[in-house]
Structure 1
Amino acid sequence: MIVDNPNWWRGGVIYQIYPRSFFDSNNDGIGDLPGITSKLEYVASLGVDAIWLSPFFTSPMKDFGYDVSDYCDVDPIFGVLSDFDNLINKAHSLGLKVIIDQVLNHTSDQHLWFDESRKSHDNPKHDWYVWADAKPDGTAPNNWMSVFGGPAWHWDSRRCQYYLHNFLDSQPDLNFHNPDVVNALMDVLEFWLKRGVDGFRLDTANFFYHDTELKDNPPREEILEGGIGVRPDNPYAFQLHLYDKSQPENIPFLKRIRALMDRYPNTTTVGEVGCDFSLKTMAQYTQGNDKLHMCYSFDLLTQDSSMNHVRTTMETIENALGDGWPCWTIGNHDVNRVASRWSENKPNDEQAKVYMAMLLTLRGSVCLYQGEELGLAEAELEFEDLVDPYGITFWPEFKGRDGCRTPLPWTDETNGGFSQAKPWLPVAESHLPQSIQIQKSDPSSVMNAYSDFLSLRKNHPEFIEGEIEFLYNDDKVLVYLRTLEKVKTLVGVNTGETPVSIQLNDYLDKPAKIELLPLPLNLPSGTLNGSQLSLGKFSIALASVR
């Protein structure tokens, strides 16, 4: 009998599936739940621990599922509830946990709750959303901005008031200061727990509460990349977001979620944190074993691929974390694919392998986004192909999120074997030679490197549970120790094209015996001569330190 590990999430590897683009089982051009179920053997073969499903709930799809109109049903384009049950059963039979997105901060403006709320000032749900009167001159209640550009307030002619929307104006924010709203959302979470889900990814987990006095945000003195919507071409970046999110009332709500999760053994939560003090917030939200199990931020989802930035990010969170736990990702459905973003748009398979090895040996859990294991670059789309309202608004300076959401290439055939119909987004021609079918038979492929390294990782518990100590870094090179009890494994990664040699004893507390560990043959390996570590361009080294 296999005893389930209640801490499977701690150091677990989670594979994010974007349902629209994974696999289309009924040939309507859109991926669906039966399509995911039919391909779960592939995901399990990679060696991951869990899948994370982006939203599949009933929605008008103005933000492709992140605008929910019914939290407790499946949108017809993805299937029906029984299809989800089948997916859960299949995943569990393969040893995969299932985490689903929960978009609690806001709903669609087509949700029945909003329909009722906007009818009057005194109906039973009149304050389920964040409503506010106009200023005497008719302008918005304050200066808060939407992540997607423009004011975060939309005038509603029925109530003759403004409502808050941190994202699209078709995504009104729920009022978490109303206990009835919180109770309703807790019922939503329990609905899915009873169906057997193993956890939740909480979208915009620091946005739930707002300042009730609606105080203006102050200007930001310096625009630094790293948070949601923080780009020089977006006025959202011009403010320091002190009052529209990350409020202290969020903490009791997260504690209530944790209390619910604790009633369902072996489940977990991972929160998405996008704020001006993201690493501090990550630590705060995961400390004490009474809030979220883990969080991730946008700090490794930026354009900054320097190892200086990675080390600073890791050491900052480690110094603040205490008994909390981080989750790291270098790609997801909201940012340009890492193969392009971190390679100055010159994707390289060997470099992709190095970034993979770094991610999988840092301290924390890991989220991998579908297609990363293939080394897929950002798809280049014409303006006419865009469907993302974010990209349409900011084109051409910012092309939106469609380029990282194109369908997964299963084969090099028409539409990448994703669908026999025209896909909802075009399959990139450049992705076809990197299809799963082709990479599976190529021992040197990025996909096989991922699979082999994930297997290696399971045999090195220090990568999953151990402490981390950074020894050396420059712009392209990072060297660190992972330690669990008496086992010390050194990791060296060179993400650049210039070979380097490092005298390791210069960075260790005392001279040590260092022995290079074998890597899978498809990974570019460094060499060791005594304590002299040599890393060629785009290379990796693992070494035992005694």
Structure 2
Amino acid sequence: MRTADLAAPKVATKAAEPWWKGASIYQIYPRSFADTNGDGVGDLKGITAHLDHVASLGVDCIWISPFFTSPMKDYGYDVADYRAVDPLFGSLADFDALLARAHQLGLKVIIDQVYSHSSDEHPWFRESRSSRTNPKADWYVWADAKADGSPPNNWQSVFGGPSWTWDARREQYYHHSFLKEQPQLNCHLPEVQQALLDVTRFWLDRGVDGFRFDAINFAMHDPALTDNPPVPNPAKRTRPFDFQQHIHNQSHPALIGFIERLRDLIDSYGDRFALAEVGGERAAAEMHEYTVGDDRLHSAYGFDFLYAPALTPGLVAATAAAWPAAPDTGWPSWAFENHDAPRAVSRWVAPDHRDQFTRLKMLLLASLRGTIILYQGEELGLTQVDVPFERLRDPEAIANWPQTLSRDGARTPMPWRAEANDANGFSTGEPWLPLGPDHAGLAVDRQNGDPASMLAFTRSVLALRNGSPALRWGEFVPITADDRTLCFERVHDGQRLRCTFNLSPDEVPLRRHDGAMIETGPVLADALGPYAALIEEIR
């Protein structure tokens, strides 16, 4: 490994560019980051205790997955109180302390907001289901049964089965895109939008630097409840949800108006950031729709890489080409790993090439045009854990067993210490999910003082990105994308960087220049070895 000056400080963000543009964001899944009270579940104090580690990576921001009051049917993505911390994670005072410490370390903080649905234990839903005439009767999506008693239409839930559940109190069905315990909010209703905007304002007043809006394209449906058409000539289908084109159950055009209201509120607080999660077959188009111009969300990310079965030159080139540096195009964000997808090193490469590929993957992520998101443990090279069926917590994996790869395998506890009786430094209690059998050898304390470790390499990669205007903000210029080699340039304000990656287990030819800044793997005078990469400055 050869790198440029790794001690270089973070580049000062240009006055013309907001902090989030080209930033590196570190995602924290609270249940699995660090536990301070011995109950086997991570908490806010655990995050605060380890923020020095996060800051040492060179990231700009942390994104914290849900920590709000919840019955935990979907582990926090079923919110019962948008303005309160679940006692499992601590208190609002603990969050305030976390936020203050992060800001002290120069880290921005964004938090999840789940506005397409709530928990069925939320007071709004309890009132809504109590009658057809109460003040919140229309705050959720209710519909009468068909004449034969069946659900109002053919919409299917992501987690399996119809997306309608009968409620005896109202003698109607309610809609839920995910679990039946996650009823769909009726975001067409101005009162619902205002209530959610009030939640947004609550956290902005508390000092957060922005939001990641979960499954935002699910937030509005077709009020006519039109049936979805089937998928023509589908590939293998593992869930009823996969049989349909999701035209009418999500992504209604009126959603743009709500997005613009969110952006207007967020902008009124100054230098804040709004990031959308967008999934589905129209994700690419919707990411553009939700980020175009100056009055919608700042950025969006999809599942181009998160669900990709392989990392190929063609995939990277095509995905990058969809986001040109054009006035009418928004700003993308990218993630290779997160809490919803199996660890990339276990998806994309055979075990015998894993160590080398892990470094290449990190360097490639940091070379992409856009804002990048690292998932906790990615800096260590953590692998996917094979969680046995009897230990699964993920409702999607349980419902669709054995077809769906478990999200639990990417949610296992963070290993802080290699030699420890306290679950690798995660907890003094029994962890809520099993430890990765190979994760002790990848623990933070084992890698921290090793200049040849994946952790050290991650720090060097982010230092390079932070110190290179071309990597942070530059245009993406494709050069080569064949079966094995990916080559592109990043160009900005006189700086030109050539980025070359061998995404294969074979040696490939290389034409070197003189300005090597960072390399990984066997980089020869005229060839790149298996899963090797090189970034050079072209003068």
Decide: shared fold, TM above 0.5: yes
Return the match for 1:501 from 509, 514, 517.
509
Alignment correspondent of 1:518 = 517
- Give the match's secondary structure for 2:178: coil
Alignment correspondent of 1:271 = 276
Shift of 1:486: 2.0
Alignment correspondent of 2:61 = 50
Amino acid at match of 2:364: M
Shift of 1:344: 4.7
C-alpha distance in 2 between matches for 1:307 and 1:67: 38
C-alpha distance after superposition, 1:159-205 (max 9, x if no partner): 11111100001000000111100000000000000000000000001
Shift of 1:371: 0.8
Return the match for 1:257 from 246, 262, 269.
262
Check conservation: 1:288, 1:323, Cα contact below 8 A: yes
C-alpha distance in 2 between matches for 1:162 and 1:4: 53
C-alpha distance in 1 between matches for 2:486 and 2:378: 21
Distance 1:145 1:319, change over 3 A: farther
C-alpha distance in 2 between matches for 1:404 and 1:478: 27
Shift of 1:207: 1.1
Amino acid at match of 2:437: E
Alignment correspondent of 1:490 = 498
C-alpha distance after superposition, 1:507-546 (max 9, x if no partner): xxxxxxx3231327xx326345xxxx52111211111224
Return the match for 2:127 from 116, 129, 146.
116
Runs of 4+ in 1 over 6 A off after TM superposition: 2-6
1:417 matched to 2:416? The reply is: no
Return the match for 2:437 from 424, 429, 436.
429
Alignment correspondent of 1:510 = none
Q: What RMSD, in angstroms, separates the aligned Cα atoms of the two structures?
A: 1.7
C-alpha distance in 2 between matches for 1:344 and 1:215: 45
C-alpha distance after superposition, 1:34-90 (max 9, x if no partner): 110010000000000000000000000010000000000000000000000000000
Shift of 1:399: 4.0
Shift of 1:495: 2.4
1:335 matched to 2:341? The reply is: yes
Alignment correspondent of 1:298 = 303
Distance 1:60 1:321, change over 3 A: farther
Distance 1:200 1:112, change over 3 A: same
C-alpha distance in 1 between matches for 2:20 and 2:153: 41
Alignment correspondent of 2:355 = 349
C-alpha distance in 2 between matches for 1:321 and 1:496: 35
C-alpha distance in 1 between matches for 2:66 and 2:329: 30
Counterparts of 1:47-196 in structure 2, within 5 Å, are 47-196=58-207
Shift of 1:347: 6.3
Check conservation: 1:246, 1:275, Cα contact below 8 A: no
Return the match for 2:242 from 237, 241, 244.
237
Amino acid at match of 2:518: L
- Give the match's secondary structure for 2:322: helix
- Give the match's secondary structure for 2:477: strand
Shift of 1:223: 3.8
Aligned residues: 524
Shift of 1:503: 5.0
Pick which of 477-486 and 73-82 moved more. Answer: 477-486
C-alpha distance in 2 between matches for 1:527 and 1:305: 23
C-alpha distance in 2 between matches for 1:445 and 1:299: 28
Check conservation: 2:317, 2:478, Cα contact below 8 A: yes
Return the match for 1:37 from 16, 34, 48.
48
Shift of 1:307: 1.7
Pick which of 163-172 and 476-485 moved more. Answer: 476-485
Q: TM-score, normalised by structure 1?
A: 0.93
Q: TM-score, normalised by structure 2?
A: 0.94
Shift of 1:345: 6.0
C-alpha distance after superposition, 1:255-305 (max 9, x if no partner): 111101111111101100012121111111111011000000011112132
Gaps of 5+ in 2: 1-11
C-alpha distance in 1 between matches for 2:485 and 2:286: 28
C-alpha distance in 2 between matches for 1:332 and 1:222: 30
- Give the match's secondary structure for 2:157: coil
- Give the match's secondary structure for 2:460: helix
Identity score, percent? 47
Gaps of 5+ in 1: 225-230, 505-513
Alignment correspondent of 1:545 = 538
C-alpha distance in 2 between matches for 1:283 and 1:344: 34
Alignment correspondent of 1:387 = 393
Check conservation: 1:516, 1:527, Cα contact below 8 A: no
Amino acid at match of 1:357: L
Amino acid at match of 2:346: S
Shift of 1:218: 0.8
- Give the match's secondary structure for 1:317: coil
C-alpha distance in 2 between matches for 1:402 and 1:67: 17
C-alpha distance in 2 between matches for 1:452 and 1:438: 17
Check conservation: 2:323, 2:331, Cα contact below 8 A: no
